[in-house]
Structure 1
């Protein structure tokens, strides 16, 4: 019974009795005699100590274990061959009462085990915010100390482990914030890469700047974060208006945001008045070209609001432009917006291909009309001598032919094979359409018209089926004053 009563004595009372043996009874003295530490310096003793702490979750049991092994008496007692102290073990397991007593008795908070770890690192490793809070109350605590080959501070280690509460506690000491690791990366740099928006916001609130986002090698944390997919922290940084973003970084971010279809980043950059005339060095593509080539229409319209003619007419490394691309896709809305913003309707791709030639070949009659309204060259020919009308006729696009004929194209021009538009089809409806146009057009006043009439008459006399009788009749009737025979 006496032994049970003795074990029930509180920790503080036991510690007082250890320091003053006169208060102890003979039985209690026998029970509380602490064996010398060297007899328990083996790994088995450490294992026994840790096992008992883990199994005895209640404070009373832990107090008995701690008191039995003399933790309160030996402030910097080396517990095992790794050089771990009592305070470090208590910090790791979050035993606040023992920590307070050890610190009060003069324990060294900066004691390092044989691996160079302190009590603060033990608390961070096991995510014990209360242990960190107790240690931070000690003025002598070296919060800015660097550890390991990477020269990382306790704050950087807490950030990399994602312990938000501990980070907030460490940030209360300004000297812990500005320290860099061996690569020149600050706590803010690591927080951005880690993707913890709450930690990033905390560091920004206490004075993070753009310089904190660049390491010794010139790597930018924002670009690295986008590349590894940590977009949330990038949004947090851009939404923080006190953080200055240089033009070079901003333009790189704009290109990256267009590649990953992040409209929020684009809006944030545009709100900062970031120029949009930047190009991707590898492909010479502008942000708006990149976004449209990937089908990100929302970003395209957002960039279009601030774009100018120079941006819209910029060609990629393949000599392609956004207007040519929109024409190929038959994107009538975008073509209309581009032309209204000042895009060049006659911009050329390789082989002298213009948007009008593309639209005519593909039969996009609405886009043909839009381009012609903005002064597209109706009779422009590509390297093979093909005009818009020739391409529309060759591909049998009747609606496109009708639209082109409304704008009075030349029918006498020939391609590299010495063929005119009317010679490129055997479709009688299309032939009649062109011949009727030739009858009604002012082109009949030119010398070429007389040649055309002669050709049609000769062709009709040899092969009547290839020319409509009505068209011949109209030509003969309207051209009586010309000597066509």
Structure 2
């Protein structure tokens, strides 16, 4: 597998050196589907780098578009991960599939959403990607986009039927993760599309509690517009008490102004 000629093919694919790649492939001494010890192909390397001409040359020389390396990643996965819209489009023209998963359940769609590549997300969905894909821990494309703060991707996923309240296995919803990360615009969009403002994670915390702990006041202001419960407890503490313990003075003012009870509940 790791012969000098194979290494040269990989080098050419990685650098986007089309003349060298053509010379090596046309020599008849190395296969277009040559791969390394973990199953990485030259097509994957070229796709990872966004080298359109090299990707096309490898495809025309017979490279397997849908081959998966040991981790489950494919050429489509790598090009989607890095947002190479033209490469993704080319792979689809030659039969790339959106159905393949990595060992952790990742797909081309989940990784494109994670990194906020909106044009690639649109292309994937138009070519059969499943908006309800899930990682092994239950994280959906919408969850990953919310975690990254990618508003455009979130709007598109919701318009394609993504479930706004679909939690990860530990009960974490897209709204909760967006609140934790301080993505106020994401929180605004999710709430406007019916996100459960009072959804409780397995540890007992809500989006409001987490935002108060982190001092994300912009998030709290968006949540307060939808009248979240101020009295839901996590380990005997409310969002107000979390803000107090974290020393978030402005957050305390916000919550008191919204009517939060300053007294600790009976244990």
Place the TM-score, normalised by the shorter chain, in its bin. 0.7 to 0.9
5 Å-filtered alignment, 1:295-374, equals 295-296=249-250, 298-300=253-255, 302-303=257-258, 307=259, 315-317=263-265
Of 107, 110, 116, 2:66 maps to: 110
Deviation string 1:157-203 (CA, Å, 9 cap, x unpaired) is 33445555544432333533211111121111122233444443443
Of 97, 100, 105, 1:145 maps to: 100
- Unaligned stretches of 5+ residues in structure 1: 1-40, 320-485
1:381 aligned residue: none
SS of structure 2 residue aligned to 1:66: helix
1:69 aligned residue: 24
Deviates more, 1:166-175 or 1:98-107: 98-107
User: Matches of 1:96 and 1:75 in 2, distance apart?
Assistant: 21
**Cα distance change, pair 206–253 in 1 and its aligned pair in 2 (3 A):** same
User: Matches of 2:190 and 2:178 in 1, distance apart?
Assistant: 16
2:111 aligned residue: 157
Pick 1 or 2: higher relative contact order, CA cutoff 8 A, min separation 6: 2
User: Matches of 2:42 and 2:242 in 1, distance apart?
Assistant: 64
**Cα distance change, pair 71–88 in 1 and its aligned pair in 2 (3 A):** farther
Alpha-carbon distance, 1:299 to partner: 0.9
Alpha-carbon distance, 1:301 to partner: 6.2
Alpha-carbon distance, 1:135 to partner: 1.1
User: Matches of 1:107 and 1:206 in 2, distance apart?
Assistant: 33
TM-score (norm 2): 0.73
Deviation string 1:16-62 (CA, Å, 9 cap, x unpaired) is xxxxxxxxxxxxxxxxxxxxxxxxx54322222334556675xxxx2
**Cα distance change, pair 216–71 in 1 and its aligned pair in 2 (3 A):** farther
Deviation string 1:256-305 (CA, Å, 9 cap, x unpaired) is 334444443333233224344x24343455749956985336514641xx
1:179 aligned residue: 133
User: Matches of 1:199 and 1:104 in 2, distance apart?
Assistant: 33
Deviation string 1:298-321 (CA, Å, 9 cap, x unpaired) is 514641xxx4xxx65x731489xx
Count of matched residue positions in the alignment of Structure 1 and Structure 2: 260
SS of structure 2 residue aligned to 1:175: coil
User: Matches of 2:239 and 2:32 in 1, distance apart?
Assistant: 66
**Cα distance change, pair 316–86 in 1 and its aligned pair in 2 (3 A):** closer
User: Matches of 1:97 and 1:155 in 2, distance apart?
Assistant: 23
Bigger share in helix:
1
Deviates more, 1:125-134 or 1:250-259: 250-259
Contact 2:80 2:88 in 1 (8 A): yes
2:210 aligned residue: 256
Contact 2:5 2:24 in 1 (8 A): no
User: Matches of 1:215 and 1:159 in 2, distance apart?
Assistant: 16
SS of structure 2 residue aligned to 1:171: helix
Contact 1:192 1:222 in 2 (8 A): yes
User: Matches of 1:281 and 1:78 in 2, distance apart?
Assistant: 54
User: Matches of 1:146 and 1:127 in 2, distance apart?
Assistant: 18
- Unaligned stretches of 5+ residues in structure 2: none
Alpha-carbon distance, 1:236 to partner: 1.2
Alpha-carbon distance, 1:110 to partner: 1.0
Tell me which structure has the larger Cα radius of gyration. Answer: 1
Alpha-carbon distance, 1:131 to partner: 1.3
Of 207, 214, 217, 2:170 maps to: 217
Alpha-carbon distance, 1:72 to partner: 10
TM-score (norm 1): 0.44
The answer on 1:237 being equivalent to 2:187 is: yes
**Superposition misfits of 4+ residues, deviation over 6 angstroms:** 72-76
The answer on 1:47 being equivalent to 2:7 is: yes
Deviation string 1:219-250 (CA, Å, 9 cap, x unpaired) is 334334544xx111x54133345421335328
